[in-house]
Structure 1
Amino acid sequence: MVTAVVPPIVADQSDRAIINAPVKLLTAPINGDIVLLSATPGRGVNAGDVLAQISNARLDRTTLIMLEQKASDARQKLAATQEKRGSDLNYLTSLSAEIGGQLTQLKTLFKSQIEELRAQVAESDSLGGAKKALVDRQTKLVERNTANMDMLNPTLKQYSAALHKTEADKAKLGQKISQLDALERGIYVGDELIPIATLVQKRRDIDLDAKRLAIEEAELSAQLADQQGPMDAERARLAKLAAAEVRVPGKGMVMAVEASKGRHVGAGDALASLVDCEQQFVVAIFSYRQGQNLAAGTHVRVDGAPFKSGIITSLLPKTSDKLDERYAVPFPQTERREMYAIVMPDQKGGDGLRTNSTEADGKSSPCAVGKWVTVTRDNGAVVPSMSVAWRQLTAFVTSWGSANAQSLPERNRKAGHARLAEKFREASQDSVALTKWEDWPTRTEAVVSK
């Protein structure tokens, strides 16, 4: 009893330690059928390796069809609007040419009419002057009683008519000049300008219609551009849902495969679990009385692991099923007044960079996860673990007495040694919580980074 109970309480050594590592779960990103599955348990993989390919031919394309239909309608309206606007612009060009030709003719006509009216005004002025001279001569004759008033009155009437005719010609001349000036400024007044006024009004209507169509074309173009974005996004989404590759996020080893080729999976279904071999650590069990001696930062030796030394980063009083699911193997079961010591590889010595372990047969394994090792505190008291001492004594006695034990069956001898080692491994004390620390992996990474 003394040798079984007392040494574990004060021992600086523990062989109840196991190599563990985080587990990453690879899941299906989409619904579909597995067309390729290259993941096999125990296979070493590197970052970026394709472990599975998933294809999904049963996609709901209703949204894409609806968006394409809306885009097609907008595209057809845009094409019709552009064609109508082009037709209006061509018509405007023809109308402008016709109006320009008629304006040129009218200007020429008005200028010739103005010249003619000016000649008529000059003629009327001359006739009026002749009538005035006749009236003056006859008036002098009447004053001398040489002629009668009956002869003067018709001459006066003729003179008055000549004056009125001159005023009428001047009025016509002024009207033509005004029409020509208005024609130059785009104002069409007069019976002669009704046809061209009609053409100009029609050109204005067509021009307004062309401007309206230009605005409608801009609106349809913006609408089509707005619809193109969601349509492209929907196409990209369907492309991602139609086929997907499951790639390895980092270097490690495939621990288990949860699916098979040809199986239909849903998004989020587990395909395989990956052990992150580069994040290996050791979970060792010590008595809680060693808590002060095994504080964070304590350097320890690790026998039987790929790395020969390590640093205790945290002490954990207990574990849970939720925490165990995050790692390759469950934490060993503790007894009363025992705790977990988390040992990270000593990166300074370079041992933590080695991820390959050598088995008994000499073969190299990509991960040493699940292997039992022995953890010993450096510079500690010489208080070995009794299970380790008994195992070493058993091995020595077995090797010393192997010559006398040749008569025993080999398998019985090995079975007896295994049972003896298992009995020595059993602890007799219960575990008790030291502290409540649930996020120790995050703190462990912080300590290691320092």
Structure 2
Amino acid sequence: MVNKVQTSASDLGAPRGGTSSGLSRWFSGQSIARLAGFGVVIFIAWTLLSMVMPPMFFRSSQRAVVDVPTTLVTTPIEGTVASQRLHIGDRFHAGDALVDIQNQNVDRSTLVELTSKRMELAQQYDAVSTQLDASRIRLATADQQMTKYQAATQKMNDATLSGIRSKLAIANTQIDAQQDIVNRDSTLAAAGAISGSVSDTSKYQLSELQNAKAAIQAELQAAETDSQASKNKVFFDDKDNGVSTLAHEREDLHNTVDQLTAQASALQQSQSTIDQLIAKERDRVDRMSNFEIKAYGDGVVKDVLAPPGTQVSAGATLIRAVDCSRAQVVAVFPRSLSDSLLPGTRLKVRVDGVDHPVGASVTGLLPRASDGDQARYFVPFPSIESNEIYALATFDKPLDANAQGDAVQSGSVQGNNAPGDGTQSGSCKLGQWVHVSIDRPWTNRLQAFLGGHMPGLSSGGSQS
């Protein structure tokens, strides 16, 4: 019995030693092989899934470039560039003078026409003024003559009135004396001292004197009427033909002076209007002859296409400039991600030199970018394949303005698909390749987890 227990104990002890050696063999050989096999299987599965369903894994683009719409400074007139106020790299603001254009072929036909009209009006005004001065002299002379004639006529009328009044007084005296005779003869005839024929004769003589007085009174009344008419400057052709003619001439001269004065006033008003038009037209000609082109917005000069001395036509581009506050990112994505890149979609942009991702929002998609579309931007777009599209996005806020190197550099964009010259600006990183990804929090967390545990898979999954 004891032996069995011992045997059992020894049997129990034997496997312990064998188990320890088996685990060693497991961890040293089989475990490494199995882990390697699992890694290969996972890698193959990840590769197949990424090829079959890329939108589920690859939601980023490394073929993306920082771009900005180009500001073209053009000339509205033809001429010669007299001076360029700014140079490449200079910053300007709205309202700043940029270029001076000289144009000696400005249309001056309107100015010549206005000047000719002004000379014509001046000649008409001089002629009217001459006529007006002559008419005023004649009117003054007529007034003087009229005053003289009126004074002489009034004297004549006064003398006539005085004579008639004297005749009337004599007639009154004669009538009074004859009335005494009539009264005496009537008394004597009634007494029978004289005959009745003598009394009738004295009465007849009294009647004759009374008739003569009536005629003198009528003459006096007519003379008083003529005198009053003369004072009121009313003349009768049958009596005052010369004075009446002078009065009519004087009235005509008054009318002529009034008409000429109105014409002169109208001509002066027309001359004033023409002078204002000539001043405006001369100012326009001066401005067009030495035209100053000003900026209508802020920006930085990138290219000077027309240096001083260049002959330019109307509409020619003089300066190419950019405004870094309008910087955008142009990214190439698979066409299958179109539904995930609708306007307003949030993106994360990683830019060299900026230590944190920069937020951006999709503004539009382009299946293709024609030469006309790309001409509106400073940097050419990256090339795309038939199954890809362009996504345009604006930054939430401008890129770091304190970055160094705000100059045009050649070859700053690396890679086989470098867009154009690859100009780069330190303030808005123009032409610099960037990494753009669709902002999805759960994908970021998964990628961070895989990056922490499987760096190879994480790096492979970040490729577009």
Q: Which interval holds the TM-score relative to the shorter structure?
A: 0.7 to 0.9
Could you tell me whether the CA contact under 8 Å between 1:29 and 1:244 is conserved in 2? no
The aligned residue for residue 419 of structure 1 is none
Q: Deviations over 1:48-105 (max 9, x none)?
A: 4433211122334333222111111102322332343244345434543553454355
The aligned residue for residue 362 of structure 2 is 313
d(CA) in 1 for partners of 2:425, 2:431: 15
Q: Which residues of 2 match residues 268-347 of structure 1 at below 5 A?
A: 268-304=315-351, 308-318=357-367, 319-347=369-397
With 329-338 and 225-234 compared, the bigger mean Cα shift is at 225-234
* Pair 1:248-2:295 in alignment: yes
Summarize the Cα distance change of 1:317–1:146 in structure 2 as closer, same or farther, 3 Å threshold: closer
d(CA) in 2 for partners of 1:306, 1:89: 92
* Pair 1:169-2:231 in alignment: no
- Counterpart secondary structure, 1:57: coil
Could you tell me whether the CA contact under 8 Å between 2:399 and 2:427 is conserved in 1? no
d(CA) in 1 for partners of 2:280, 2:162: 75
Task: Quote how far apart the aligned CAs of 1:235 are.
Answer: 1.6
d(CA) in 1 for partners of 2:101, 2:286: 12
The aligned residue for residue 404 of structure 1 is none
d(CA) in 2 for partners of 1:305, 1:105: 116
TM-score (norm 1): 0.72
* Pair 1:358-2:419 in alignment: no
Summarize the Cα distance change of 1:53–1:315 in structure 2 as closer, same or farther, 3 Å threshold: closer
The aligned residue for residue 368 of structure 1 is 429
Summarize the Cα distance change of 1:306–1:313 in structure 2 as closer, same or farther, 3 Å threshold: farther
- Counterpart secondary structure, 1:341: strand
Determine which structure has greater relative contact order: mean sequence separation of CA pairs < 8 Å that are 6+ residues apart, divided by chain length: 1
- Counterpart secondary structure, 1:215: helix
d(CA) in 2 for partners of 1:266, 1:75: 39
d(CA) in 2 for partners of 1:271, 1:224: 42
Task: Quote how far apart the aligned CAs of 1:317 are.
Answer: 3.7
Task: Quote how far apart the aligned CAs of 1:381 are.
Answer: 1.1
* Pair 1:258-2:258 in alignment: no
The aligned residue for residue 20 of structure 2 is none
Instruction: Identify which of 113, 120, 125 aligns with 1:66.
Output: 113
Q: Matched residue pairs, number? A: 385
Task: Quote how far apart the aligned CAs of 1:261 are.
Answer: 2.2
Could you tell me whether the CA contact under 8 Å between 1:356 and 1:368 is conserved in 2? no
Could you tell me whether the CA contact under 8 Å between 1:355 and 1:368 is conserved in 2? no
Q: Deviations over 1:337-357 (max 9, x none)?
A: 33322221113xxxx264454
Task: Quote how far apart the aligned CAs of 1:19 are.
Answer: 0.6
d(CA) in 2 for partners of 1:260, 1:365: 25
Question: What's the Cα RMSD here?
Answer: 3.7
d(CA) in 1 for partners of 2:274, 2:91: 47
Summarize the Cα distance change of 1:60–1:292 in structure 2 as closer, same or farther, 3 Å threshold: closer
Summarize the Cα distance change of 1:305–1:205 in structure 2 as closer, same or farther, 3 Å threshold: farther
d(CA) in 2 for partners of 1:4, 1:40: 50
Q: Which residues of 2 match residues 378-389 of structure 1 at below 5 A?
A: 378=439, 379-382=441-444
Q: Deviations over 1:179-218 (max 9, x none)?
A: 1222333312376644433332222111000111122123
Could you tell me whether the CA contact under 8 Å between 2:363 and 2:394 is conserved in 1? no
Q: Which amino acid aligns with 2:245?
A: T
Summarize the Cα distance change of 1:129–1:45 in structure 2 as closer, same or farther, 3 Å threshold: closer
Could you tell me whether the CA contact under 8 Å between 2:335 and 2:388 is conserved in 1? yes
* Pair 1:29-2:79 in alignment: no
* Pair 1:116-2:163 in alignment: yes
Q: Which amino acid aligns with 2:123?
A: Q
d(CA) in 1 for partners of 2:292, 2:428: 25
Summarize the Cα distance change of 1:181–1:353 in structure 2 as closer, same or farther, 3 Å threshold: farther
Summarize the Cα distance change of 1:177–1:38 in structure 2 as closer, same or farther, 3 Å threshold: closer
* Pair 1:198-2:260 in alignment: no
Could you tell me whether the CA contact under 8 Å between 1:294 and 1:312 is conserved in 2? no
Summarize the Cα distance change of 1:315–1:364 in structure 2 as closer, same or farther, 3 Å threshold: closer
Could you tell me whether the CA contact under 8 Å between 1:306 and 1:368 is conserved in 2? no
Could you tell me whether the CA contact under 8 Å between 1:31 and 1:241 is conserved in 2? no
- Counterpart secondary structure, 1:296: coil
Summarize the Cα distance change of 1:2–1:256 in structure 2 as closer, same or farther, 3 Å threshold: farther
Q: Which residues of 2 match residues 77-156 of structure 1 at below 5 A?
A: 77-100=124-147, 102-104=149-151, 106-107=153-154, 109-134=156-181, 144=192, 146=194
d(CA) in 2 for partners of 1:306, 1:26: 31
Summarize the Cα distance change of 1:273–1:6 in structure 2 as closer, same or farther, 3 Å threshold: farther
Summarize the Cα distance change of 1:302–1:126 in structure 2 as closer, same or farther, 3 Å threshold: same
TM-score (norm 2): 0.70
Summarize the Cα distance change of 1:315–1:26 in structure 2 as closer, same or farther, 3 Å threshold: closer
What runs of 5+ residues in structure 2 fail to find an aligned partner?
1-46, 410-423, 448-454
Task: Quote how far apart the aligned CAs of 1:173 are.
Answer: 0.5
d(CA) in 2 for partners of 1:76, 1:11: 87
d(CA) in 1 for partners of 2:332, 2:165: 129
Q: Which amino acid aligns with 2:443?
A: A
Could you tell me whether the CA contact under 8 Å between 1:64 and 1:231 is conserved in 2? yes
Could you tell me whether the CA contact under 8 Å between 1:39 and 1:272 is conserved in 2? no
What runs of 5+ residues in structure 1 fail to find an aligned partner?
385-391, 397-423, 428-450
Instruction: Identify which of 258, 261, 275 aligns with 1:211.
Output: 258
- Counterpart secondary structure, 1:365: coil
Could you tell me whether the CA contact under 8 Å between 2:90 and 2:301 is conserved in 1? yes
- Counterpart secondary structure, 1:376: strand
Could you tell me whether the CA contact under 8 Å between 1:253 and 1:367 is conserved in 2? no
d(CA) in 1 for partners of 2:283, 2:185: 110
Could you tell me whether the CA contact under 8 Å between 1:188 and 1:197 is conserved in 2? yes
Q: Deviations over 1:359-385 (max 9, x none)?
A: 599x9734421111111333251487x
d(CA) in 2 for partners of 1:114, 1:154: 33
Instruction: Identify which of 314, 325, 329 aligns with 1:267.
Output: 314
